[in-house]
């Protein structure tokens, strides 16, 4: 089954919340875990055990695993495998972007048959949307999804993403290209966008039609990063039905107790449902 269809079913059952798995140093310390490959593995696998069945998907951040070298990558593989066994979707937050054979290799690693490949991967289009063709094709062949960076919440991003070429913003061109990939697909396309929940009026200011994307809109920034229900309504407007809100620190701070993690996720999920009218 295509990723978009699987995600739509998961959201219908569990709500539009994606829980991040970000084993950074302060959180590991708060959980009483060492900042080692073994520590990040224990962290990630505890998250899967606790949160499967409470959220629509999980989003392990690859960098926090990769910094521990080959053993960290092995830990990420085990987290992805645990999630698959628990029947919960994963978005591997790798943000890869390159050209030609290098992009093809990234596609094999994160969207093909590799043990690093989850159900979807995040990618960067800022070498041109066309540079993503290898990962789009490999993901489609394997029933996986792709989330393309469009509007990020970091202030520096606006210098590139808000720039206009021939009257269309770079972010708008990315959104239009994703929409073309999803044309005619139902109930939800496999190519989504990453749009920060804290980007304010940027979507309206740039004239971007997010509803036309017909794919999931991954919205980081919910919870500890400060995005409110009003922010979600302001940023996404009538495209709220496509939003997959992402929360990390607000949920992870409740660990390491699995029951506390589940309760935090359920509170976040309820708040997101109310904010989005889902």
CATH architecture, domain 3-276 = Alpha-Beta Barrel (3.20)
The pLDDT value given to residue 63: 98
The pLDDT value given to residue 176: 98
> What is the Cα–Cα distance from 121 to 92, expressed in whole angstroms?
5
Q: How confident is the model at residue 221 (pLDDT cuts 50, 70, 90)?
A: confident
Catalytic residue positions, numbered: 95
Higher pLDDT, 274 or 95: 95
CB atoms within 10 A of CB 84: 16
> What is the Cα–Cα distance from 231 to 228, expressed in whole angstroms?
5
Pairing of strands 164-165, 168-169: antiparallel
> What is the Cα–Cα distance from 245 to 178, expressed in whole angstroms?
19
The pLDDT value given to residue 165: 86
- Cα 141 off chain centre by: 20
Rounded to an integer, the average pLDDT of 156-178 is 96
For residue 155, which of 122, 208, 194, 199 has the smallest C-alpha distance? 199
CA angle 38, 28, 63 (to 5 degrees): 70
Contact present, 121 and 144 (Cβ < 8 Å)? yes
The pLDDT value given to residue 271: 87
Integer CA distances (angstroms), 217 to 40, 90, 146, 246, 264, in order: 27, 15, 11, 10, 22
The pLDDT value given to residue 275: 84
> What is the Cα–Cα distance from 222 to 20, expressed in whole angstroms?
11
Integer CA distances (angstroms), 158 to 6, 61, 87, 132, 237, in order: 32, 23, 37, 21, 20
Using DSSP, state whether 200 is helix, strand or coil. coil
Question: Considering the entire predicted model, what is its pTM?
Answer: 0.97
Does the pLDDT of residue 227 top 80, yes or no? no
> What is the Cα–Cα distance from 136 to 125, expressed in whole angstroms?
11
Q: How confident is the model at residue 277 (pLDDT cuts 50, 70, 90)?
A: confident
Pairing of strands 217-220, 191-195: parallel
């Amino acid at each position: 089954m295509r990723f978009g269809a699987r995600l739509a079913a998961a959201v219908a059952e569990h709500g539009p919340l994606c829980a991040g798995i970000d084993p950074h140093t302060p959180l590991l310390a708060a959980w009483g875990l060492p900042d080692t490959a073994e520590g990040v593995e224990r962290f990630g696998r505890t998250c899967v055990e606790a949160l499967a069945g409470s959220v629509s998907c999980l989003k392990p951040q690859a960098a926090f695993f990769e910094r521990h070298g080959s053993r960290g990558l092995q830990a990420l593989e085990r987290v992805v495998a645990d999630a698959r066994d628990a029947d919960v979707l994963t978005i591997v937050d790798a943000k890869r972007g390159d050209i030609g054979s290098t992009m093809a290799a990234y596609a094999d690693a994160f969207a093909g048959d590799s043990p690093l490949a989850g159900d979807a991967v995040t990618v960067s289009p800022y070498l041109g949307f066309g540079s993503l063709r290898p990962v789009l094709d490999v993901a489609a062949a394997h029933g996986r999804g792709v989330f393309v960076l469009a509007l990020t919440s970091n202030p520096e991003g606006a210098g590139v993403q808000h720039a206009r070429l021939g009257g269309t913003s770079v972010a708008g061109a990315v959104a239009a290209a994703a929409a073309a990939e999803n044309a005619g697909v139902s109930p939800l396309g496999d190519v989504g966008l990453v749009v920060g929940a804290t980007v304010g009026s940027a979507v309206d200011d740039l004239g971007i039609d997010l509803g036309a994307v017909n794919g999931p809109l991954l919205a980081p920034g919910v919870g500890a990063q400060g995005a409110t229900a009003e922010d979600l309504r302001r940023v996404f407007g009538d495209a709220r039905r496509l939003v997959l809100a992402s929360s990390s620190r607000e949920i992870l701070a409740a660990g390491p107790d699995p029951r506390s993690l589940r309760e935090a996720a359920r509170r976040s999920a309820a708040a997101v449902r109310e904010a989005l009218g889902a």
